[in-house]
Amino acid sequence: MNKIICLCLALTIFVFSSVGFAANKFNLKPTKLPVITFYTENFPPANYMEDNELVGITVDSLKLIWADLNLPDQEVTIVPWTRGYRNVLKQPNSALFTMSKIEAREDLFKWVGPFFKSVHVLMAKKVQTLSLIILVMC
């Protein structure tokens, strides 16, 4: 199975509604875009706090999207990833970043990205008594 996991920004379709795109494309003011609640976690280099500011690869990309839509930077709430995931499943007009796009989640969200790719490995100190079992990703 492919060991490269695409890390994607999961955003609701409302951020990128046709109203927002049309407004930007034709230099019109968007009409009543819904307020989105954004959640993230501390996950360097994608998103992390530095000098009391949220920064990272995904944060930079999201700020460019907001600028392209003529929106000010939005408030982002930093929570443990599982809480953010649970909130996005239950709460309308909410978004979570950064998230791995896997088959089980594919139909649950509208996806934007990938913003970068990452390789994840499992490692342990080399000892003769350690035996590895083949791990299969979902």
Q: Which long-range contacts (CB under 8 A, 24 or more apart) does 59-62 make?
A: 61/9, 61/113, 61/115, 62/9, 62/38, 62/97
The answer, yes or no, to whether residue 64 has pLDDT greater than 90, is: yes
Q: How much is the mean pLDDT over the chain?
A: 77
Rounded to the nearest angstrom, the gap between the alpha carbon of residue 123 and the centroid of all alpha carbons in its chain is 26
pLDDT for the residue numbered 29: 58
pLDDT for the residue numbered 42: 95
Is residue 37 within 8 A of residue 91, CB to CB? The reply is yes
Residue 61 belongs to a domain: yes
pLDDT tens per residue, range 75-125: 999 999 999 999 999 999 999 998 888 899 999 999 888 777 878 777 777
**Would the CA dihedral through 79, 84, 86, 92 be positive or negative?**
positive
Q: Count of domains in the chain?
A: 1
Q: Which domain CATH number covers 53?
A: 3.40.190
Residue 127 belongs to a domain: no
Residue 133 belongs to a domain: no
Residue 128 belongs to a domain: no
Range of the domain at 79: 4-119
pLDDT for the residue numbered 91: 96
Residue 125 belongs to a domain: no
Whether this prediction's pTM lies above 0.85 is answered by: no
Q: How many CB atoms lie within 10 A of CB 82?
A: 9
